[in-house]
A and B are shown apart, each in its own frame.
Chain A
Amino acid sequence: MKLNLKRVLAIVLALAMCLSLAACGGNGGSEGSKGTEGTKETEAKPGEITNIVMWLPIMFDTPDPQSIEDEVNKYSEERYGIHYDLEFVPLGDYTQKRNMALTGDELDVFWGGGYSMIKNGQLYDITELYEPYKAQLENEEHSEFLPRFQANNYFNGRLYTINYLVDRNHHLSFNMDQEVADKYGIQNMQEISLAELEELFPKMHEDFPDRDVIGPTGTTYILGNMFWTWDPVQDAIGVLPNKGQDDELVLESIFDNEDYINFVTKCEEWYNKGYINPDILSNTNQWAVLLTNHQICGCFDTFGVNNVAGSIRTRVKEVGNWCQSLGGGGYSINANSKHPEKAFEALMLCYTDKDIATVINSGVEGKNYTKNADGTISYPGGSAATSGYGGPTLYWALPGSETANLPLDINGPTYFKDLNDFCLAATMSKGYGFIFDPTPVMDEWTACTNVLNKYYYAMASGAVPVKETLETARAEMKAAGEDKVIAEKQKQLDEWLKNKK
């Protein structure tokens, strides 16, 4: 076959068209940026001001971000030579936008961390930088939670992420609409057993016929965060039963975990009795919206010590206050940052400088919040949505809330102390601090993750027949190489336990 120039060109063009799509999909990453080891630009000279870009998550409209930025820079420029360039990024797409931004060097300090980011080389190693702060932060006077909860941010002895005050441990609540709770005389924070709840469900079903009894906390399933008594050890492929409290830590398949099977069987029963919305699998409404609109009587939810207006919390007895083995969480520094050391200083100032912590956590006084006599703060417009910032509601995602120590009126003046105590009262899974590295079994692990995503949550919706689905799920997990993954995870866990002693 004789190929003329035209035809060759046409083929090349066709190839270009086909390939460009693929290339676009994976087109990320700055070329050849420098490594972490001391090759960064020199740090700012004294008297010079370094610009640090920090991304804070927001949940509410922030119409005047500049005023908050100016307020924080009033303190930071003079005292530390740091200019905060604050970006307020909505929670909903924070992760996606952050992952895009991390391909460059514009972003310095961000919310997030964890194994996959460490493996991708996205996080700056802050082990040495943190040393001088350690004594200052990890003590009784500042916070007791930090030393305990910082453990899960170390990977192979190196630190990449700084934790902040948040309930990583939880209670399981069955949240109830105030009206519903009043009818049955249920009090806020009351302990309640699953059996007692099951007695209530049929009554609710009868008394509130136009509401679903159990709402979906995870949008399409009823157990948000899948928080019960099994410890997923990060990925739920190989879980620890009994909140990780057994003398000997033996991983088992989630689809063989007794409590999981019991719970999803209950879900199916509830679904068939009409307590759960028949269209749960295609639901897109958030539980908070459903609860506010009186479309549901209540829902399972995890919480620490905070309150929600218009509804009450209960504490499910079977679950209690405990903490799973989590992967890392907190704030990290971009490995490609131009000023990683200054960026880290900017992050730590949120914990150590009360003025800076106050602005980051609460905004501008008089504009975004007003102080009350008892030490709490209130939103001037009455709600987070009209306050112009909403940071105080989002204390669980902002650094240094305990340093600012300005709790919202609804949570009471001792809130951050309460939260600290709540964190310390948690039963910790014995696997806490262990981070599984799936690299040696990556293919099997990926395959298992896909199978798990297919069935793990769906069964907690009640809308699928548990018995048959469990069989299918088990078979598919086995075929995907679950045994190999669990064996590897067990090996790493045993080793970690040995070194811990």
Chain B
Amino acid sequence: MQKRKNKNKAAHRIMTLELYLMMIPGLLYLIINNYIPMGGLVIAFKQFNYQQGIFGSAWKDPLIGNFTYLFKTQDAVNIIRNTLAYNITFIVLGQILAITIAIMLNFMRGTKNKKIYQTVILIPYLISMIVVAYIVFGFLSTETGLVNKMIVAAGGKKINFYSTKTYWPLIFIVIHLWKGFGYSSIIYYATVIGIDSALYEAAAIDGANVPQQIWHVTLPGLKNTIITLVLMSLGGIMYSDFGLFYQVPMRSTIISDVTDTIDVFVFRALTSMNDVGRSSAAGFIQSIVGFLLVVSVNLIVRKIDKESALF
């Protein structure tokens, strides 16, 4: 008896050892790609010199000298506002749209129809942002754009979109939702079809109509997925879709008050300054704020519902 138990223990040990061995490549990847480069964050506090390298370069005097320029510009308020406001809008509207589509997909009958629909809504997600920029240009061009043609046909005056700030928030939101809803709705759809159909049947027997079924069965079933996806998006809230904000306005600088996010701003600044320290500083702020957001939102989620928290 004792012998057999020992044998089991040994077998168990070997099993876990195998699992740990399997983890090594992944861990190595994480260490090399994600942990070692973290040391490079010191660049944000250095007067970077190519001959002296990252660690040999002198410390910036004052230490936060690379950061101050971010707050000296009038643009700092703009870019932080743009980054946060666009991302929050994208997250909120994006989830609502994706969930709606996922539920609608679930109610659709016939596998063929479903497949066609799923494929069609996924296509925009696969299009490169540069191509999207030209599709948008096809709509917004002053000379040949569809929108301006319609405005003129209706007796209006042409709008030069690429020099007018007013319309861009709306344009970005429409493009983002159009491009992303297919992909995120599929994630939700996968969860929706995983909900036990017995629950729906039970609800139906109890007299629940379709909206009630959605409210009491589908949405609670989606809760964890929603929380996970929102948490993950919140982690990237200080980052923005560079392609969307850089390519789609065709790099028109005159509307940059509403189109510049932190990433675009840093890219512009770096290409005109060739200053590694300052661009790292902006990246540093982005990371720290993103990290704090994930941790604090997770904390809030834990307070409300322990099961749903990521960690």
Contacts and interface: CB of A to CB of B under 8 A. Distances in A.
Nearest to A455: B254
A277 B143 contact: yes
B41 A7 contact: no
Contact of A17 (B34, B141, B273): B34
Nearest to A335: B51
B98 interface: no
B69 A446 contact: yes
A99 to B, nearest CB: 7
A196 to B, nearest CB: 28
A1 to B, nearest CB: 9
Contact of A457 (B48, B72, B253): B253
A294 B72 CA distance: 47
A14 B291 contact: yes
Contact of B268 (A10, A24, A453): A453
A24 B283 CA distance: 9
B50 to A, nearest CB: 5
B69 A29 contact: no
Contacts of B251: 220
A480 B72 contact: yes
Given A449-B272, A480-B73, A469 B254 contact: yes
B283 A22 contact: yes
A278 B291 contact: no
A29 B72 contact: no
Interface stretch (B186-194, B204-212, B274-282): B274-282
Interface residues of B, number: 68
Contact of B69 (A17, A443, A453, A457): A443
Contacts of A13: 30
Contact of A282 (B44, B162, B268, B280): B162
Interface in A329-350: 335-336
B74 A480 contact: yes
B278 A446 contact: yes
Contacts of A34: 51
A21 B287 contact: yes
Contacts of B49: 120-121
A147 interface: no
Interface in A442-464: 442-444, 446-447, 449-451, 453-455, 457-458, 463-464
A21 B40 CA distance: 11
Contact of A281 (B33, B39, B252, B288): B252
A463 B163 contact: yes
B291 A29 contact: no
A25 interface: yes
B160 A6 contact: no
A164 to B, nearest CB: 22
A15 interface: yes
B184 interface: no
Given A22-B41, A281-B250, A450 B287 contact: no
B253 A447 contact: no
**Chain A interface: which size bin?**
35 or more
A281 B269 contact: no
Interface in B281-311: 283-284, 286-288, 290-291, 294-295, 310-311
Contacts of A469: 254
B55 interface: yes
Given A7-B311, A444-B72, A453-B253, A19 B56 contact: no
Contact of B38 (A23, A103, A277): A23
A27 interface: yes
A363 to B, nearest CB: 32
Contacts of B34: 16-17, 19-20
A16 B35 contact: yes
A336 B72 CA distance: 34
Interface in B41-62: 41, 43-44, 48-57
B10 to A, nearest CB: 25
A32 B268 CA distance: 29
A295 to B, nearest CB: 12
B272 to A, nearest CB: 6
A477 to B, nearest CB: 10
B87 interface: no
Nearest to A452: B272
A308 interface: no
B53 A29 contact: yes
A217 interface: no
A407 to B, nearest CB: 34
Nearest to B57: A29
Interface string A21-63: 1111111111111111000000000000000000000000000
A187 interface: no
A476 B77 CA distance: 13
A116 B275 contact: yes
Contacts of A374: none
Contact of B72 (A22, A121, A443, A463): A443
A22 B30 contact: no
Given A14-B235, A121-B50, A26 B55 contact: no
Contacts of A15: 291
A189 B239 CA distance: 52
B37 A32 contact: no
A33 B57 CA distance: 11
B145 to A, nearest CB: 8
A18 B35 CA distance: 11
Contact of A454 (B158, B253, B278): B253
Contacts of B278: 446
A279 interface: yes
Nearest to B274: A116
A314 interface: no
Contacts of A320: none
A33 B273 contact: no
A105 to B, nearest CB: 10
Given A28-B276, A281-B160, A282-B250, A18 B290 contact: yes
Nearest to A26: B280
Given A20-B37, A335-B50, A11 B295 contact: yes
Nearest to A7: B311
Interface string A467-497: 0010000001001110000000000000000
A28 B250 CA distance: 29
Interface of B: 30, 33-35, 37-41, 43-44, 48-57, 68-69, 72-75, 137, 141-144, 158, 160, 162-163, 235, 239, 250-254, 256, 265-266, 268-269, 272-280, 283-284, 286-288, 290-291, 294-295, 310-311
Q: List 10 tightest A-B contacts by C-beta distance, closest first.
A: A10-B311, A26-B280, A282-B250, A22-B283, A23-B37, A121-B49, A278-B142, A20-B34, A22-B287, A458-B254
17 contacts: A18-B235, A19-B34, A23-B38, A27-B40, A28-B276, A32-B52, A35-B51, A117-B274, A122-B51, A279-B142, A281-B250, A282-B252, A284-B250, A446-B278, A453-B253, A464-B163, A476-B74
Given A121-B51, A278-B160, 13 more contacts: A14-B294, A23-B39, A23-B283, A26-B40, A26-B41, A29-B50, A31-B56, A32-B55, A120-B49, A281-B162, A284-B250, A446-B72, A449-B272
